[in-house]
Amino acid sequence: ETGVTQTPRHLVMGMTNKKSLKCEQHLGHNAMYWYKQSAKKPLELMFVYSLEERVENNSVPSRFSPECPNSSHLFLHLHTLQPEDSALYLCASSPAGAGYEQYFGPGTRLTVT
């Protein structure tokens, strides 16, 4: 599925760095999501944007800051991360509304040193 792209695919950053993850969808959807998959936990939802407004923040620490400038783009800004934040970060999109199928990007594998 190439409808959702993510860059970079791999990222290594120190704890004092600031970096951003980018997600772009070409499916005409208007809801976008960030998920986190770490070694010790199942896939978990981080943020939901619907019609460019944040509708859910799943108790994520403030060192993760999302941004959705339009319905096709989603960013995750990272600053002062901890080693335990190392994980695979997945972006998804769907039509806005209840119960639509979500499509995922290939993910960004983040390592915090």
Partner 1 sequence: GIQVEQSPPDLILQEGANSTLRCNFSDSVNNLQWFHQNPWGQLINLFYIPSGTKQNGRLSATTVATERYSLLYISSSQTTDSGVYFCAVDSGGGADGLTFGKGTHLIIQP
Site string for partner 1, 93-112 (x = CB under 8 A): -x-xxxxxxxxx-xx-x---
CA distance 61 to 39: 18
Query: Is 24 in a helix, a strand, or coil?
Result: strand
Which residue's entry shows tokens 């403030």?
Answer: 62
Question: Is the Cβ–Cβ distance between 89 and 77 less than 8 Å?
Answer: no
Residue from 45, 72, 75, 80 touching partner 1 (CB under 8 A): that is 45
How many beta carbons lie within 10 A of that of residue 105, not counting itself? Answer: 26
Q: How far is the CB of 72 from partner 1 (least distance, A)?
A: 15
Q: How far is the CB of 66 from partner 1 (least distance, A)?
A: 13
Binding site for partner 1 (CB under 8 A): 1, 31, 33, 35, 37, 42-45, 48-50, 55-56, 58, 88, 90, 92, 94, 96-104, 106-107, 109
